[in-house]
Amino acid sequence: DDQDDETITVDQTYDLALTKDLTSAGPYTQGATVSYNITVTNQGSLNAATVVVEDRPQVGLTYAGLNSGDVTDNGDGTFTLNSVLAQGASLTFNVSYTIDATFQGTSLTNVAEITEDDGDDEDSTPDNDVPTEDDQDDETITVDQTYDLALTKDLTSAGPYTQGSTVSYNITVT
């Protein structure tokens, strides 16, 4: 015999990663719009056919819309990638939020995580809220608090006035 066959096993890996980046410039105040790029990258050797990302803004941020990206907005804070994510490929989409006019804090955090996929990821578990895994990322912004006070003073007593008369005012601060 001058031939010998040997079968080898090729390990296939399923590995998705997510990053979140702030794309809008501050300073941030109540009523401002905040935008983020969310990027899902296939770091494995297998294609990913079904990928769902959940974006979880802190109370104080109100969803303003999906700006770009080949994803479907599911209407519940989740986004489904519309196409197969091939090995080595990435997909980026952009979402915006508005800082609530009544927000009283000084910072807001927004977390994104892959919550569903069709494989067995080698180094992360979808939807388990573990910040150190590569399928979850967050961004925190500082919110500048501004105060706008107005004072008005209105005369409430009728004249004429003489020395020793009582004069009354309503003072209103808004």
Kindly state whether residue 71 falls inside one of the protein's structural domains.
yes
Provide the pLDDT confidence category of residue 11 given band limits of 50, 70 and 90: confident
Provide the pLDDT confidence category of residue 150 given band limits of 50, 70 and 90: very high
**Per-residue model confidence (pLDDT) at position 147:** 79
pTM: 0.82
Q: What is the Cα–Cα distance from 103 to 165, expressed in whole angstroms?
A: 46
Q: What is the Cα–Cα distance from 83 to 57, expressed in whole angstroms?
A: 25
Q: For 95-135, what is each residue's pLDDT tens digit? A: 999 999 999 999 999 999 999 999 999 999 999 999 999 99
Kindly state whether residue 136 falls inside one of the protein's structural domains.
yes
CB-based contacts of 169, cutoff 8 Å, min separation 6:
153, 154, 155, 156
Kindly state whether residue 56 falls inside one of the protein's structural domains.
yes
**Per-residue model confidence (pLDDT) at position 2:** 84
CATH number of the domain within which 110 lies: 2.60.40.1510
DSSP code, position 28: B
- Supply φ then ψ for residue 82, to 5 degrees: -85, -10
Query: Given a cut of 80, is residue 1 above it in pLDDT?
Result: no
Number of neighbouring beta carbons within 10 Å of residue 104: 9
Kindly state whether residue 61 falls inside one of the protein's structural domains.
yes
Range of the domain at 37: 16-142
Query: CA angle, corner 101, sides to 99 and 103, nearest 5?
Result: 70
Q: For 49-102, what is each residue's pLDDT tens digit? A: 999 999 999 999 999 999 988 999 999 999 999 999 999 999 999 999 999 999
Kindly state whether residue 169 falls inside one of the protein's structural domains.
no
**Per-residue model confidence (pLDDT) at position 108:** 98
Kindly state whether residue 162 falls inside one of the protein's structural domains.
no
3-state helix, strand, coil in the chain (%, to 5): 0, 45, 55
**Per-residue model confidence (pLDDT) at position 148:** 83
Kindly state whether residue 158 falls inside one of the protein's structural domains.
no
Kindly state whether residue 65 falls inside one of the protein's structural domains.
yes
Query: Given a cut of 80, is residue 42 above it in pLDDT?
Result: yes
The residue among 141, 113, 120 whose CA lies nearest residue 28 is: 141
- How many domains, in total, are found in the chain? 1
Q: For 17-36, what is each residue's pLDDT tens digit? A: 999 999 999 999 999 999 99
Q: What is the Cα–Cα distance from 37 to 91, expressed in whole angstroms?
A: 10
Ramachandran category for residue 77: left, alpha or beta (phi over 0 → left; psi -120 to 50 → alpha): left
